[in-house]
Amino acid sequence: MDASRPVTPAAAEVDRSLLIRGLRKEYRTGQPVLRDISLTVAGHGMTAIIGPSGTGKSTLIRCINRLVDPTAGEIHFRGQDLARLQGRALRAARRRIGMVFQEYNLVERLSVIENVLCGRLGYVAVWRAWLRKFPPQDIDRAFQLLDAVGLADLATQRADQLSGGQRQRVGIARALMQEPDLVLADEPTSSLDPKTSVEIMELIARHAGERDIPAIVNIHNVGLARRFADRIIGMSKGAIVFDGAPQALQDSHLLQIYGGEGWLE
Amino acid sequence: MRIGLVALALYVVYACSVLDITWGRFVLGLGHGARFVSRMLPPNFAPDKLELLYGGMIESLQIAIIATAVGVLLSLPLGLAAARNLVPLPLAWAVRALIALFRTFHPVIVAILFVKAVGFGALAGMLALVVASLGFLSKLIADAVEEMSMQPVEAVRATGAPFLSLVIMGVLPQVMARFIGFSGYQLDSNLRNSALVGLVGGGGIGATLFTAFQRFDYDFVLTIVLAIIAIVMIGEIVSGWMRRLFQ
């Protein structure tokens, strides 16, 4: 296996668009969380998915990298149907999809730099992980990424000593370490204060933009979605009820997405 | 509640009569005990006895350390394979059944089986303690893995990591400190039990102790008992120190 060699695609030629067709997920039979979602996401730019809790946003995003197995439907990305992949092929597809989590999901007892290097685990052999002998170019890149997210000084700190915002920066560096063709973010700012939330969204937008890769971000905060996304998708009860540019999102749409009225005042 | 207590008292009386446990025998036994203790004193520190003691002790230590090392090495994969949040359920249940089997019998009974299987000596004692270590450590590891946070595991899985890399970077860092603590306990417990398995033919200081009893060398018995107490206490100190070091 050429696993230890970082794969560097010819960026301009790769088609990174995502095509979802008839995606359905039922955790319990007969109770779909996702109701036959069909969606095309362009190969660049940030797409924000908004909607109330429990509406299937998280399930949708987790179906894409198969942390959740869809019940039915197709997810086409880079010439493959992700919904059908198994074993080695699934792992190979996953390593090109970076993911950022609401609770950061760092390995608390590992150092910051080790957490970033986790992003290479899909590429490097098992013995390298065991001996912590990552290829030198990976280590160099990990330090560069830490620098890029503003944590250069904290490389050897244990992850459990960081603040929430710092942890999320590590999470972003780990995702970028995968050299992803797609970034998924599941409520990346929901556990953070408003100022840090803006910084984290800026970071995701900037790095996805620099690499010209698409980012799909689940987010509660409509203001942040409007500010950073190129496209907003509104979900309600497992279905898409709004799909358009941020400017097109009106209060009437928000009422439809979230229901109720009083909260808009 | 009251009926239960009365029934229990009646049964105890009945059982004592069946087993011929009487006050008279107990008083008689006290006299024997006093004579036994007086024959133990003073402990025998003759050079030839000390040599026997030393040989038995070294063998027991070796049995305990080898059994702990082998047990630790094997219990890690076994414990991971028994964790229901990590492997397919049928495999986890099968491995849990195997671990339960290891835990069913006291090490002394397992030692008797191994003495019959591979003959008298240190090998039988060592194998018995490996089984005991596997039963204890694998179960604790499996439980620790099932209690760990799945969030980092999910994140590492999302990077496309193969299963073993997932275990190395996502699982082990979460359970390693506790595992080392368990291993310290197990070394401690293997030190105690290495004396026990010797009594039934498993080698080590237990064999020396058994021989001393057979030959009515009660003063030497006391020497051996004192040495075992010393070793167990040292073991306790070392394992406590190990736990603090890896906290």
Task: With a cut of 80, say whether residue A3 has pLDDT above it.
Answer: no
Q: Give, as one character, the DSSP assignment of residue A157.
A: S
Confidence of residue B111 (pLDDT cuts 50, 70, 90): confident
Task: With a cut of 90, say whether residue A39 has pLDDT above it.
Answer: yes
**B164 neighbourhood in chain A, CB within 8 Å:** 126, 129-130
Confidence of residue B218 (pLDDT cuts 50, 70, 90): confident
Question: Is the Cβ pair B160, A67 closer than 8 Å?
Answer: no
The model's pLDDT over A111-146, given as tens digits with 9 standing for 90+, comes to: 999 999 999 999 999 999 999 999 999 999 999 999
Strand blocks (E) in A44-135 = 46-50, 72-77, 80-81, 97-100
Predicted TM-score (pTM) above 0.90: no
- Name which of A177, A178, A202 is nearest A188 in CA terms: A202
Bridge partners of residue A182, in order along the sequence:
A97
Encoded amino acid at A53, one letter: S
Query: Average per-residue pLDDT in chain B?
Result: 88
pLDDT for res A263? 64
Task: With a cut of 80, say whether residue A262 has pLDDT above it.
Answer: no
Hey, is the C-beta of A95 within 8 angstroms of any chain B C-beta?
A: yes
pLDDT for res A2? 44
The model's pLDDT over A206-219, given as tens digits with 9 standing for 90+, comes to: 999 999 999 999 99
Q: What's the gap in Å between the CA of A224 and the closest CA on chain B?
A: 24
**Residue predicted with more confidence, A43 or B201:** A43
Domains recognised in chain B with CATH numbers? 2-37 (no CATH), 45-245 (1.10.3720.10)
Confidence of residue A12 (pLDDT cuts 50, 70, 90): low
Mean pLDDT across the stretch B87-104?
A: 93
Q: Which of A97, A108, A121 sits opposite B161 (nearest CB)?
A: A121
Q: Please state, in angstroms and rounded to a whole number, the distance separating the CA atoms of residues A95 and A91.
A: 6
Tokens 């998708």, residue? A233
Q: Which residues of A106-120 are buried (b: 16+ CB within 10 A; e: fewer)?
A: bbbbbbbbbbbbbbb
ipTM above 0.95, yes or no: no
Mean pLDDT across the stretch A238-264?
A: 84
Contacts (Cβ under 8 Å, ≥6 apart) of B201: B111, B112, B115, B120, B121, B124, B207
Confidence of residue B74 (pLDDT cuts 50, 70, 90): very high
pLDDT for res B247? 61
Q: Which of B158, B160, B173 sits opposite A107 (nearest CB)?
A: B173
Mean pLDDT across the stretch B216-243?
A: 84
Residue length, chain B? 247
Task: With a cut of 70, say whether residue A7 has pLDDT above it.
Answer: no
Hey, is the C-beta of A15 within 8 angstroms of any chain B C-beta?
A: no
Size of interface A-B (CB pairs under 8 A): 87
Hey, is the C-beta of B77 within 8 angstroms of any chain A C-beta?
A: no
Strand blocks (E) in chain A = 18-28, 31-41, 46-50, 72-77, 80-81, 97-100, 182-186, 215-218, 231-236, 239-244
Q: What are phi and psi of B160, to 5 degrees?
A: 85, 20
Task: With a cut of 80, say whether residue B245 has pLDDT above it.
Answer: no
